[in-house]
Amino acid sequence: MTLEEKAALVIGAGYGAPQTLLPGGTMIGNSGTKVPGTAGSTAAIARLGIPSIVLSDGPAGVRINPYRKGDSTRTYFATAFPVGTLLASSWDPALVERVGVAFGNEVKEYGIDIILAPGVNIHRNPLNGRNFEYYAEDPLLAGRMASAIINGIQANGVGTSIKHFVANNQESSRSTINTIVSERALRELYLKTFRIAIAASNPWTVMSSYNKLNGTYTAERHDLITTILRDEWKYTGFVVSDWGGGRDWVAEMQAGNDLIMPGNKAQIASLISAVGHDSLDVRILDANVARILHIVVKTPAFSGYKYSDRPDLKAHAAIAREAAAEGMVLLKNKDNTLPIQKTVKTIALFGNSSYFPIAVGTGSGEVNKAYVTSLTKGLRDAGYNPDAELEKTYVPFVKDTTAKLLAATPKGNRPGPSPELILDAGLISRKAAACDLAIITIGRNSGEGFDRKLETNYALITAEKEQIKKIADGFHAKGKKVVFVLNIAGVIDTEGWEKYADAVILAWQPGQEAGSAIADILSGKVNPSGKLPTTFPVRYADVSSAKNFPGTPSGIPEQVIYEEGIYVGYRYHDRFQVKPKYEFGYGLSYTSFSVEALKLSSMVLNGKLSMTVKVTNTGKVAGKEVVQLYVGAPVKSIDKPLQELRAFAKTQLLQPGASEVLTFELAAADLASYHSDSSSWITDAGVYAVNVGTSVQNIREKATFSIPKTLIIEKDHKILQPQVSILELGLRTKEDK
């Protein structure tokens, strides 16, 4: 290859193509001529038979243009699958892998080579605008679910791009923020998710993130992209920058960030010149090129695959619906309010999102889907009778306000959500008299480029709260129940509505089959078995990163310090006794289960230990249970969480009275903590507590085992240190906490 060809290959072919600029100047990819609407592509070098490969967003489904110029005879819609947080709530890797298989088929049949998914950044703070794309607050759960979807997608012979590597946990100042975080928190939480996912699925590519990490852009960090990812973890695919990520193209090449996207001519010229002036060794460029080509030869583009442009959208919708219902979490169910009682026929549906559910979030995680099923349709199909007058009031209101908002929004900006329809009191009391049940859907969207606003997106606004109270009081006065459906992008405040709820279903953003899947849960066709992948705090101030989000100075933050260290989510609530509203791992069912007879293969862990537990459906309907295994390690030289998720398993559908024995395997390496002073993973000698339960708090069985000798599991490189000292939680004095 000539130098020009090499430089053209490592710089994306997106130059000259239109980019969507978000306010704040960051972009999401929107180029590509082969498949319109994709995020970008690489250069073709025809002389050498190197095809252009197509990269497309995003995590909830293929993001391409549904319509094409000069082609009015057909459409190119893609399936909107449930978002990452919902998939993680299923705690069912086998199911998520099946979603991946369907998703990957769409990738392939629409002519795409690499899908820019999954997003696996840890839920550090509920206000992160992209949390919906991401999986969980815990690296084991997030890592395992991510590997499941990657394996499913890649089984089709197309690639994935696990993103955003690493510590990209907010959207405020997303392309300039300096994330300051300790080596230990990085290793134990933020890097670990990627490590677990990569080890179990080998994604074709890894996407570096926009942020700086301890002072340097991730795309420019050799220690991150080469030393950790390739030398320590033995990763063999290529690394692609986020769109416009990093600033120094030569440094990116040197770091091992092989492909720079979306790419422009000036970047190609600068690499050619750098080689000419000896500031970039051509052997480095050769290595970048080689890693890209090793993937190119695996792509459908290289084998000349004749894609159909006609994936089986109907079959994929069925999987989207199944997965959506499996990941919904029943948060409350007073006096068996749900499933909907046989006597209920007419249902009063409140809330804009009952009629226009939010399928997925916005930005590159958005999908151009053919439809989103409303809750009205879902309930009607299930044999219920949603009140027609309310439908006639809500539907035109939302359509009208959405159109007005769109018209009033400056080009390039995103319109805000339609304001919640405020009904007159007379209508509410008439419905309370006439209908058998009230369902109130609370809708919250968010997306790329913005964090969620505490006052209006995380919390409910006053008018919403007042309306909820009116509806609840009206229905309760008539002896009727009120069910809440949370159609939300991330954790919200529970103040202001929870006390009015007889039952609550957390539906997250369930994809295009939203209404049908919610109706499956409401009707009892599907017994809820989802569990929280992330904690709901009592109040926002109880979030361990609340004081350090989104960083300083306020307004346009330049840096964010992760002072909470490893104490994110349940690790924090547990250790510092801050009671959550709904804890990690929590979720109810329409049946009940016993979890008993915990047995350990040995009382001493030498190499491996296996454990079994028996789960029995003790209730009246069939259901599935998720059993979570937490381990508390002995505290010797460093502070540790009280317990950490080390294994989990979900039962099959158990009929009433039926049992299943679940097996868990533990190795000494799974129990190690990262000691920054020696840069090593160490499993301390001592007694380990095994807590087996159905949430982090609802522990059903306990046992202990011991490790006779302290084990140094792995010695890593001393890298990625913060440039400033961080006063981390757990390292402070008691008073500071």
Active site residues: 242
Reduced to 3 states (helix: H, G, I; strand: E, B; else coil), residue 93 is helix
When asked if residue 420 is in the footprint of ligand BGC (CB under 6 A), the reply is no
Is residue 105 within 8 A of residue 312, CB to CB? The reply is yes
The 3-class secondary structure across 316-337, one letter per residue, is HHHHHHHHHHHCCEEEEEHHHC
Other beta carbons within 10 Å of 635: 13
Stretch that binds ligand BGC, among 27-35, 394-402, 568-576, 634-642 (CB under 6 A): 27-35
Q: What tokens were used for 13?
A: 């072919």
The conformational region for residue 693 under phi > 0 = left, psi -120 to 50 = alpha, else beta, is beta
| Closer of 361 and 580 to ligand BGC (Cβ) | 361
* Beta carbon of residue 565, minimum distance to ligand BGC (angstroms, whole number): 26
Stretch that binds ligand BGC, among 25-33, 98-106, 284-292, 468-476 (CB under 6 A): 25-33
Q: What tokens were used for 708?
A: 């006779």
Stretch that binds ligand BGC, among 22-30, 641-649, 653-661, 698-706 (CB under 6 A): 22-30
Tell me how far apart the alpha carbons of residues 51 and 246 are, in angstroms, rounded to a whole number: 26
Tell me how far apart the alpha carbons of residues 391 and 223 are, in angstroms, rounded to a whole number: 57
When asked if residue 138 is in the footprint of ligand BGC (CB under 6 A), the reply is no
Q: What tokens were used for 213?
A: 């990490």
Other beta carbons within 10 Å of 74: 11
Q: Is the peptide bond before 490 cis (omega within 30 degrees of 0)?
A: no
* Beta carbon of residue 19, minimum distance to ligand BGC (angstroms, whole number): 9
Reduced to 3 states (helix: H, G, I; strand: E, B; else coil), residue 298 is coil
When asked if residue 364 is in the footprint of ligand BGC (CB under 6 A), the reply is yes
When asked if residue 258 is in the footprint of ligand BGC (CB under 6 A), the reply is no
Residue 132 class from Cβ within 10 Å (0-12 exposed, 13-18 middle, 19+ buried)? Answer: buried
Sheet holding 159-165, edge to edge: 40-41, 54-56, 114-115, 159-165, 205-208, 238-240
| Closer of 57 and 420 to ligand BGC (Cβ) | 57
When asked if residue 218 is in the footprint of ligand BGC (CB under 6 A), the reply is no
Going by C-beta distance under 8 Å and a sequence separation of 6 or more, which residues neighbour residue 372?
Answer: 80, 356, 357, 359, 512, 514, 515
When asked if residue 563 is in the footprint of ligand BGC (CB under 6 A), the reply is no
Query: Site residues for ligand BGC, window 483-542 (CB under 6 A)?
Result: none
DSSP 552: B
When asked if residue 166 is in the footprint of ligand BGC (CB under 6 A), the reply is no
| Closer of 163 and 332 to ligand BGC (Cβ) | 163
* Beta carbon of residue 678, minimum distance to ligand BGC (angstroms, whole number): 35
- Phi, psi for residue 406 in degrees, rounded to 5: -65, -45
The two beta strands, 212-213 and 216-217, are antiparallel
Residues forming a β-bridge with 692: 629, 701
Burial call 265-275: b when 16+ CB within 10 Å, e when fewer:
eebbebbbebb
* Beta carbon of residue 113, minimum distance to ligand BGC (angstroms, whole number): 14
Tell me how far apart the alpha carbons of residues 682 and 228 are, in angstroms, rounded to a whole number: 18
Size, binding site for ligand BGC by CB under 6 A: 11
Is residue 307 within 8 A of residue 34, CB to CB? The reply is no
| Closer of 183 and 242 to ligand BGC (Cβ) | 242
| Closer of 125 and 364 to ligand BGC (Cβ) | 364
List the one residue from 194, 243, 450, 584 that touches ligand BGC (CB under 6 A): 243
When asked if residue 206 is in the footprint of ligand BGC (CB under 6 A), the reply is no
| Closer of 24 and 215 to ligand BGC (Cβ) | 24
* Beta carbon of residue 161, minimum distance to ligand BGC (angstroms, whole number): 7
Closest listed residue to residue 42, CA positions, set 220, 203, 261, 294: 261
When asked if residue 398 is in the footprint of ligand BGC (CB under 6 A), the reply is no
Going by C-beta distance under 8 Å and a sequence separation of 6 or more, which residues neighbour residue 479?
Answer: none
Is residue 57 within 8 A of residue 14, CB to CB? The reply is no
* Beta carbon of residue 226, minimum distance to ligand BGC (angstroms, whole number): 22
When asked if residue 447 is in the footprint of ligand BGC (CB under 6 A), the reply is no
The two beta strands, 437-444 and 503-506, are unpaired
List the one residue from 9, 10, 11, 28 that touches ligand BGC (CB under 6 A): 28
Element (DSSP H or E) covering residue 711: strand 711-715
When asked if residue 240 is in the footprint of ligand BGC (CB under 6 A), the reply is no
With tokens 């537990």, the residue in question is 613
* Beta carbon of residue 205, minimum distance to ligand BGC (angstroms, whole number): 11
* Beta carbon of residue 195, minimum distance to ligand BGC (angstroms, whole number): 20
Is residue 115 within 8 A of residue 108, CB to CB? The reply is no
| Closer of 242 and 258 to ligand BGC (Cβ) | 242
List the one residue from 8, 10, 11, 29 that touches ligand BGC (CB under 6 A): 29
When asked if residue 57 is in the footprint of ligand BGC (CB under 6 A), the reply is yes
| Closer of 27 and 486 to ligand BGC (Cβ) | 27
Degrees (nearest 5) of the Cα angle 492, 496, 499? 105
Q: Which residue is nearest to ligand BGC (CB)?
A: 29
* Beta carbon of residue 24, minimum distance to ligand BGC (angstroms, whole number): 11
Stretch that binds ligand BGC, among 26-34, 403-411, 486-494, 645-653 (CB under 6 A): 26-34
When asked if residue 250 is in the footprint of ligand BGC (CB under 6 A), the reply is no
* Beta carbon of residue 20, minimum distance to ligand BGC (angstroms, whole number): 8
* Beta carbon of residue 641, minimum distance to ligand BGC (angstroms, whole number): 30
When asked if residue 574 is in the footprint of ligand BGC (CB under 6 A), the reply is no
Other beta carbons within 10 Å of 400: 11
Stretch that binds ligand BGC, among 24-32, 73-81, 611-619, 713-721 (CB under 6 A): 24-32
List the one residue from 108, 123, 124, 163 that touches ligand BGC (CB under 6 A): 163
Q: What tokens were used for 720?
A: 């990625």
List the one residue from 9, 10, 11, 39 that touches ligand BGC (CB under 6 A): 39
With tokens 């994935």, the residue in question is 160
Tell me how far apart the alpha carbons of residues 613 and 699 are, in angstroms, rounded to a whole number: 13
First-residue to last-residue Cα distance in the chain: 59
| Closer of 241 and 589 to ligand BGC (Cβ) | 241
- Phi, psi for residue 458 in degrees, rounded to 5: -75, -45
* Beta carbon of residue 163, minimum distance to ligand BGC (angstroms, whole number): 5
Is residue 59 within 8 A of residue 133, CB to CB? The reply is yes
| Closer of 39 and 439 to ligand BGC (Cβ) | 39
List the one residue from 242, 420, 502, 520 that touches ligand BGC (CB under 6 A): 242
| Closer of 171 and 188 to ligand BGC (Cβ) | 171
Mark residues 58-77: x for contact with ligand BGC by CB under 6 A, - for none.
x-------------------
Tell me how far apart the alpha carbons of residues 532 and 552 are, in angstroms, rounded to a whole number: 30
Biggest CA pair distance of the chain: 82
Is residue 698 within 8 A of residue 570, CB to CB? The reply is no
Q: What tokens were used for 586?
A: 């929590």
* Beta carbon of residue 300, minimum distance to ligand BGC (angstroms, whole number): 19
Stretch that binds ligand BGC, among 21-29, 366-374, 435-443, 513-521 (CB under 6 A): 21-29
Query: Site residues for ligand BGC, window 105-124 (CB under 6 A)?
Result: 116
| Closer of 31 and 544 to ligand BGC (Cβ) | 31
| Closer of 57 and 138 to ligand BGC (Cβ) | 57
Residues of the shown chain interacting with ligand BGC in the complex, contacts defined by CB under 6 A: 27-29, 39, 57-58, 116, 163, 242-243, 364
